[in-house]
Each structure stands twice: as C-alpha cells, then as structure tokens.
Structure 1
C-alpha cells in the first residue's frame, strides 16, 4: 500500500467513529468505540479515540511502518474545556502527524468539503460554528437554559411555560397545553418536581409534540416554534454576516425547523457535502 494515508476520527459524546482513507478517498478501514468527550476524562477520551483508530487500522491490514505514515485529524467533544487540547496534544502517538479540533468544527468542515463555511446545529441544543478565511467562530451554544435558543430543549421549556400560564388562567390554552399538563396529572406541583431533576435532554423530549401540534395549527405550538425559528434565523444570519460562503443546517431537529425559517434564510442554506468524519479527514490534510 503506497502513498499518503489519512485517518479521520469523530470523537463525540455518545460514540467515536474512525475512518482510514488513501489520498484518492478510498475507504481502507473503519472503526467505532465508546464516548470520547473530554468530560469523561482525558485518558478515557484518548482510549476511545485509539480504540476506534485501531479497529480501522486493523481492518486495513497496515503494518507498523504504514501506521507511521498516517496523518490523523480528530474532532473531540469538549476540547474547549480548560487544558483539554494541550493534554491531548501531549499524548504520544504512532502517526506522522495528528491535529485536534472540536467535534463541531469537523462537522462544519465535513459539511462544506473541507472548505470555508458555517453550520447551525439544531438538536437538543443550538449553536452556530464557522470557519472563514482561517478564522474560526462560534455563536451561541452556551448551554441550556441560559442559551440554546431554538433548540429542542428551548421548545420544551417554552411549551411548559405556556402550559402553566394556561393552567392558571393567565392566558388561553390549547390542545398542546392541555396535553402537556395531562402528562403531569394537571398538577403544577408535579411539573415543579419534574423540573428539579430534569436536564436539557428531558425538556427536548417534548419537542416532537410541539412541532407536531404546530404543524396541525395549534396556536400556542405555532407561537413557540415561530419564536424558536427566529432564533435559528439569527444564528444563520450571524454566519452570513461574517462572510460564510455556505451555511448548512444540521442536527436532529434541522429538517423540522427548516420549514419554519424565514424565506431569505431558507434560500441561503446549502446541503451538506459530507459527514463529521469527512471533516476530520480534511483536518488531517486529505483534499
């Protein structure tokens, strides 16, 4: 096996994926492993990265000399935590080179074929990431509930707030508010108990209901989704204002929310060209 070899690794918070390719883009091997987010510790993060990489290398049948020719690109969830990048970069490895960035940035690189552009992630949370002319930028994504506007968690929170106000008689109710309150036995105290132990992921479980009711014309649901969509509009426009030549919407709620975006924003969206591992390969140097 001659020529350059490239290893791309997407080290996410729920799992790790690796792909080994040659300079022509031929897939030589793939591997998977457990979560690689730095919140689990640097050692655990690196172990997941190496496990996925070893599986890909084993599938390709490389010997030690060939492994030494690999140029690796790795995106890691939580690499922005204080000291995380330096700790990862200090680890000894067998490759010719290794480059680290965030999992969001490799998703951005993958979406635009390794070229300049931006992504707006719409899932449990929201965030805008861009790379333009060598500059990296981020808007939002500071965490729920102080940020992540337009996300699944945001839709769930806003829907519950409307439901409680409707229960009090402070505003008109709807099918959505009545269905949500029924899940808590029509008892605000039950909502409070649930709130005390709930995370952004728990709030986001209500997002499919909110979106479904909005599509069916529920007035409260439509207001919640329209408010959320306006925040997503703002994230897209922030990237465009910075000069992003392409902007893509990604994440579990991307397709559902896209229909609610402003016409001028929808017109400027571009389809993704590749996945996060493709972005990691671009980070490694494969074009």
Structure 2
C-alpha cells in the first residue's frame, strides 16, 4: 500500500527503477522500506535504443514522484538506482551515465543484479530467473556473476520460449508420424490449422515472446497428465537444475527462483534442489532501492 505524502518524514528517500523489456517500474521508498509512490512506463530495454530507454525511465520516476506528492524540485533529497535490461550492451553504461538527472545520485546496473539484491535483502545469494527467457545470477561479497541468459534460441534453456519451441517441434514431428501425438501437440497444430506451412510462415517473424505464449499450454497439459507435455517440462526442469547447481557451486548460500514460471518450475526440480530454494525476500525494485543506498530491512 502506498503511504500518504504526509507520512514521508524528512529522511533521505530512495528511488528504485526496474527497466525491462515489457515495461518500466519505479518505486519511491523511505529508509524503512515504506512505499511512498509508484510509477509505470513502457519498455526500457536498451535494445530499443537509448532514447526510448531513457524516456521510459523518466516517465516511470515522474509518476512515482507525483504519486508521493513531490515535484522535480524535491528530487535533490532522493538517491536513485536503476536496473536496466541489456545494460551491458556496448556503449550503454556510458550513454546512461551521461544523461542529466535531478537526483542526489543515480546508479545503473543490470536488471538481474537488482533482482538478486532484492531477493536476498542485499545479502549474498543467487537467483534463477524463469520467464520468457532464463538466466542465473549470483552475488557474493559484492561480486556478481552470471550463468546463461545469452538469448533465445541459442540459450535461455528451461524458459517459456524454450517450452513453446519444443512444443512446436514435437507437434510437427507428430504431424509427420515421427512421434506419438497427444492432446498438447494436437492443440498446438490446431492453432496453425494443422498446416506445417503456416508454422513456417509464423516462424519467420516469431519472437521469443511469441514462443513463450505457448508455455501456458505446456504447463496446463502437463498438469493434466499429457505425456508429451510432461516430457517437455521435465527437460526444462533439468536445464533449470543445471543453472541452479552452477550457482550453488559458485558458493551461493541462498537460492531463489523468480519470474513468471519460477514457482511452476520449482515443483519439477529434483528434491535436493527444492530443499535449497528460498522464497525471495523482496523484488527487483527493492533491490534497486538497496543499490541506491536504502538500508536492508530488519523485519524479514
């Protein structure tokens, strides 16, 4: 719940920004973690270009300040940090750092780093993001490293996009009579009029997001006992297990699964790994606020 502006107090404020490929969020917090205002904007991934990314970030933070009853003139009391998808692209750190802003400070990092900070309340730990794509991050003693996440289709194993791709591959094989059909594969083929040429035409322009749109079908049919869907889910879980074990081998003392498919995939993991998974203590916006200097919460 957003706290009223009158309850802000005079202490320093902390603005967290999460710039992703589907949208940009901003959250203004007090030092104790109370939410004072929030803002939303369109995509802010650097692949869209620096101007688009910056415009989304500005729109999101302007909304958060407005909801808190603040104006840009008040921004000098705010320390801000932003996690941006694609931050490591060549030239982007420098381009973002060069932009003028009204805050006492503005720090940039990758969206994965702020998610990791938030999940562990600023402490050491690792995360596996399982959404449209997949990626692992671990942060120990202030040093972060990454596992996977090089982009679909060459990477992002176990992700929603990979589930969709595998479902289409098996559906085409079932159409040819090369593998047994199933309710899942029939439903996938039905979406394309049982015509492989429609699949090929769709493939020419399909994005990772388009493939990931088929993931809910795989999950639903797996839960209903469909053998092909269950095999796809198990293969995906094996891939996610590989990322988890790599993070643990790097010394992660705590591990969380996050993203739209995180909780779904957790149920498919090996029992020893499920025992190592912890619920995240906060989200990416909490992580950005921590990066900006907000103290870790003591009530968790």
TM-score, scaled relative to structure 2: 0.90
Deviations 1:264-285 (A, max 9, x none): 1111000011111111000001
1:176 Cα shift? 2.0
Which residue does 1:188 correspond to in 2? 196
Q: More displaced, 63-72 or 176-185?
A: 63-72
Q: Residues 166 and 62 (structure 1 numbering): CA distance in 2 closer, same or farther, change over 3 Å?
A: closer
Q: Residues 245 and 179 (structure 1 numbering): CA distance in 2 closer, same or farther, change over 3 Å?
A: same
Q: Secondary structure in 2 aligned to 1:31?
A: strand
Q: Which of residues 74, 86, 101 is equivalent to 1:93? A: 101
Q: More displaced, 109-118 or 158-167?
A: 158-167
* Residues 1:209 and 2:232 aligned together: no
Which residue does 1:5 correspond to in 2? 13
Q: Secondary structure in 2 aligned to 1:268?
A: coil
Gaps of 5+ in 2: 1-8, 296-300
1:66 Cα shift? 4.5
1:62 Cα shift? 4.2
Q: Secondary structure in 2 aligned to 1:256?
A: helix
Q: Residues 42 and 250 (structure 1 numbering): CA distance in 2 closer, same or farther, change over 3 Å?
A: same
Deviations 1:66-113 (A, max 9, x none): 422321111112211111011111222222211110112111111111
Which residue does 1:107 correspond to in 2? 115
Distance 1:145 1:10 in 2: 25
Q: How many residue pairs were aligned?
A: 287
Distance 2:35 2:233 in 1: 41
Distance 1:97 1:78 in 2: 21
Which residue does 2:185 correspond to in 1? 177
> Superposition pairs for residues 226-265 of structure 1, below 5 Å?
226-265=234-273
Q: Residues 181 and 63 (structure 1 numbering): CA distance in 2 closer, same or farther, change over 3 Å?
A: closer
- Root-mean-square deviation (CA, aligned residues, Å) is 1.7
Gaps of 5+ in 1: none
Q: Residues 136 and 174 (structure 1 numbering): CA distance in 2 closer, same or farther, change over 3 Å?
A: same
Distance 1:200 1:55 in 2: 30
Q: Secondary structure in 2 aligned to 1:28?
A: strand
Distance 1:182 1:40 in 2: 34
Distance 2:202 2:58 in 1: 39
1:14 Cα shift? 2.1
